[in-house]
Amino acid sequence: MDIAGLTIAVISAVAGIAGAYFAWVPVRDRLSRRRMAHTPAPPDPAAPPATTGYDVFISYAHEDGDLVRDLAERLRRRGLNIALDEVALTPGMPLVHGVEEAIRNSSHGMLVFSPASMASGWVRNEYYLLMQRSFETGRLFIPVLVKDVDLPEFARTRFYSDLRDVSEATYDQRVTKLAEALRRTA
């Protein structure tokens, strides 16, 4: 092929590409507008979390079950709807699905920290999920100390409730503060 033929071939190719591009632009814009109409707006970080089935999901180790059931009952008496794994699960339901659904349907999350919960792989997974939701949606994550432990780094960034070795009156006052914080942001 000579130079003139090559030049004409290149110009034709460029013209074809340019024509295809300019034909595509209106279609692309229509598709983009249609997609935007169906895309939900991102959540407003300043908006309060959406109301859900539970006020708070409480993550804990089963070794601390009696203590946590008492804490949950005190929160219920203050008008809160509490999700514990034993409340959210029904016989035959896969554990991971039931807990995940309870966390998803809770406005906020609380983790009861003790040596047993720190050693539990299951509680560690709940911790990661609760922290992620807190970062992404602004939902509260409240660490609750019931025994001496070193809090993980992300949990240390939160003001925690210390229920270790306190009098009954102090315990009740702290539970009231927990309830007020959860209600204020629900």
The per-residue b/e assignment along 110-132, b for 16 or more CB within 10 angstroms, e otherwise, is bbbbbebbbebeebeebbebbbe
Other beta carbons within 10 Å of 155: 19
pLDDT (mean) for 171-175:
96
114 DSSP 8-state letter: -
Top mean pLDDT of 13-17, 83-87, 147-151 is at 147-151
d(CA 98, CA 38): 30
pLDDT at 185 exceeding the cut of 80 = no
Q: Is the pLDDT of residue 40 over 50?
A: no
- The active-site residue, picked from 86, 100, 126, 136, is 126
What is the per-residue pLDDT across 43-56, written as a single tens digit (0 to 9) for each?
444 444 444 589 99
Cβ pair 130, 57 in contact under 8 A: yes
73 catalytic? Reply is: no
Mean pLDDT in residue range 127-153: 93
Q: Tokens standing for 63? A: 């070794």
Q: State pLDDT tens for residues 58-109.
A: 999 999 999 999 999 999 999 999 998 765 555 555 566 667 887 888 999 9
Helix (H, G, I), strand (E, B) or coil at 12: helix
Q: What is the mean pLDDT of the chain?
A: 79
